[in-house]
Amino acid sequence: MTDLKSLANPLFLREDELRQAIELLFYAYRDFTRGPDEILERYGFGRAHHRALHFISGNPGITVAELLAILRITKQSLSRVLSALIEGGFVRQQQGTRDRRQRQLFLTDQGKHLERQIATVQQAKVAEAYREAGAEAVAGYRKVLSGLIDAQERPAILRAIQRR
Amino acid sequence: MTDLKSLANPLFLREDELRQAIELLFYAYRDFTRGPDEILERYGFGRAHHRALHFISGNPGITVAELLAILRITKQSLSRVLSALIEGGFVRQQQGTRDRRQRQLFLTDQGKHLERQIATVQQAKVAEAYREAGAEAVAGYRKVLSGLIDAQERPAILRAIQRR
DNA sequence: AAAACTATGGCAGTAGTGTTGACATATTTT
DNA sequence: AAAATATGTCAACACTACTGCCATAGTTTT
C-alpha cells in the first residue's frame, strides 16, 4: 500500500518521510555545532558569541537593532554577549554616522581571527558534505531549507544571504 | 574571476556559497523550532522535553542509555527532563524485560497527544517545504544533511532513521 | 522649543538546558 | 564473591534566554 501510494505520487508525503526530514535536521545541527563549541570554549565563549561574531563579520557596521532582528533574541540577551565581546577586544562599536544613537558594530583584528578560525572548521565540514553530495543535491538542500524559513521574512533573508 | 572558477568547476566551493549554506541552516533551524516552542510553553516544557518525547515516540521502549546516546547530553540533563515528563504523566517507565536494570520508556496517551500536536505542526512545515521544492530537491536535502552528520555515526543514524 | 518617539544600555530576577563530580542502588557478568 | 553496568540523585555551576523597569542620548513631530 505504501508502495502504491509513492508510485502514484512521489510527492505524497508519508509521515515516515517527514519524520526523517526532521531527525536529519536535528542530527546535522547537533554535529555541525560541535566543532565551534570546542574552539569557543577556549575563549570562555558560547554559541551566542559565535552567532554575533558571524553576523558582524558578514555585515560590518551592522547596528544593534539589525543584529537583534537576525538573531531573534532580546536586547538583554544580546547585550551580555556583546559586552563580553567588546570587553575582550573582539568587537568594537562606532557611533552611527547617519543616526548618532546607533552603535555600528565591527570586528577587531582579533575578532576577525577568531571568526575565521571557527568559520574554517564549519566551512570545511560543509564543503565536504557538498562535494560528497554533488551540485544537484546542493541546489536541493538550499531549496528545502529556504522553504523552512518563515515565509514572511524569506525574501529578505534570501536577498541578504545571496547579496555577497 | 569568480565566474571563471565556477565555470571551470561547479563544485569549486567559494566561501560565499559555504557561508550561505551555514546561514541557511541557522535561519531554518531558528524558524523550525518556533512552532514547537509555543506549544511546549503552555505545558511548562522546553525543547529538551520535546526532543525526549520525539525520540521516545519513534522508539517505544527505548532505554535511558540509548536516549542519552541520541541526544548527546549528560545523564543529569536528561534526568531532569524525564522526571518532569514522568511526573506530568507524559512518559512512563517500565522495567526492562531482558535486563531488569533498564528502564524502558514509553509515551502515555497524554504524551502521545502532546507529541502528535507538535509533530503535526512541524510536519506541516516540512511537507510544505518539500512540496515547494520538489522530489529532486528533497533527495538533495537529505544527501547534504546526511553528510553533515559525524561520519563515524552516520551509518548507524541513517539506518535508524530509515528503519521505519 | 517642547513633547514624543527611537536606539541603546543597564539592573534585577527567573527559567531552561547544559555541564561535572561524587555517590547510591539494583542487577548482570565474570 | 567481585567487577562491571544501568540508572538515579545531589550539589554546584555556566550559558543562554526571558520579562519588566528605568535611564540616557539623539531624532522626529508638533
For every residue of B7-49, DSSP letters joined together read HH-TT---HHHHHHHHHHHHHHHHHHTHHHHHHHHHHT--HHH
Number of domains chain A is built from = 1
| Residue A147 CB contacts under 8 Å (≥ 6 apart), including other chains | B128, B129, B130, B132, B133
Round and report the angstrom distance from CA (B76) to C1' (D12).
13
Measured CA to CA, the distance from residue B157 to residue B164 in angstroms comes to 12
Which residues 73-132 of A have a C-beta within 8 angstroms of B?
119, 122-123, 125-132
Looking at residue B12, its pLDDT comes to 53
Measured CA to CA, the distance from residue B46 to residue B39 in angstroms comes to 9
Residue B13 forms part of a structural domain: no
Measured CA to CA, the distance from residue A122 to residue B19 in angstroms comes to 9
pLDDT confidence band for B8 (50 / 70 / 90): very low
Residue among A17, A25, A18, A153 nearest B122 (CA): A18
Measured CA to CA, the distance from residue A89 to residue A109 in angstroms comes to 9
Looking at residue B162, its pLDDT comes to 84
Mean pLDDT throughout B131-136?
Answer: 94
Residue A23 forms part of a structural domain: no
Residue B52 forms part of a structural domain: yes
Strand C reaches within 7 A of the B48 CB: yes
Strand D bases, protein C-beta under 7 A:
5-12, 15-20, 25-28
Residue B83 forms part of a structural domain: yes
| Residue A65 CB contacts under 8 Å (≥ 6 apart), including other chains | A102
* Distances, alpha carbon B115 to alpha carbons A29, A118, B44, in Å: 21, 35, 14
Residue A108 forms part of a structural domain: yes
User: In the predicted model, is pLDDT for residue B6 greater than 80?
Assistant: no
pLDDT confidence band for B23 (50 / 70 / 90): very high
Measured CA to CA, the distance from residue B58 to residue B61 in angstroms comes to 10
Strand C reaches within 7 A of the A64 CB: yes
Residue-wise pLDDT tens digits, B91-113: 999 998 889 999 999 999 999 99
User: In the predicted model, is pLDDT for residue B2 greater than 60?
Assistant: no
Residue-wise pLDDT tens digits, B56-91: 999 999 999 999 999 999 999 999 999 999 999 999
Residue B152 forms part of a structural domain: no
Residue A123 forms part of a structural domain: yes
Number of CB atoms found within 10 A of residue B65's CB: 12
Give the domain CATH number at A107.
1.10.10.10
Round and report the angstrom distance from CA (A98) to C1' (C3).
23
Residue B108 forms part of a structural domain: yes
User: In the predicted model, is pLDDT for residue B145 greater than 90?
Assistant: yes
Looking at residue B127, its pLDDT comes to 95
Measured CA to CA, the distance from residue B103 to residue B81 in angstroms comes to 15
Instruction: Check CB contact of A145 with chain B, cutoff 8 Å.
Output: yes
Judge contact between B113 and B88, C-beta under 8 A.
Answer: no
Judge contact between A129 and B147, C-beta under 8 A.
Answer: yes
CA torsion through residues B26, B31, B34, B35, sign: negative
All residues of chain A having their beta carbon less than 8 Å from the beta carbon of residue B119 are: 19
pLDDT mean values, one per 10 residues, chain A (164 residues) = 47 80 95 91 92 96 94 94 94 92 95 95 94 94 96 91 74
Looking at residue A67, its pLDDT comes to 94
CA torsion through residues B77, A36, A123, A66, sign: positive
Task: Say yes or no for a CB contact (<8 Å) between B135 and A30.
Answer: no
The C-alpha cell that represents B118 in the structure block: 507538535
Helical pair A34-43 and A109-133, crossing angle rounded to 10 deg: 170
Q: Which residues pair with B106 in a beta bridge?
A: B92
Please, what is the average pLDDT of chain B? Answer: 90
Angle at B137 between CA A124 and CA A15, to 5 degrees: 110
Which one is predicted more confidently, B162 or B87? B87
Q: Report the amino acid identity of residue A52.
A: A
With CA atoms as reference, the chain B residue closest to A129 would be B147
First and final C-alpha spacing in chain A: 48
B107: phi then psi, degrees, rounded to nearest 5: -85, 140
Looking at residue A7, its pLDDT comes to 45
Q: Which residues form the domain of B116?
A: 29-133
User: In the predicted model, is pLDDT for residue B7 greater than 50?
Assistant: no
Task: Say yes or no for a CB contact (<8 Å) between B144 and A123.
Answer: no
Looking at residue A164, its pLDDT comes to 57
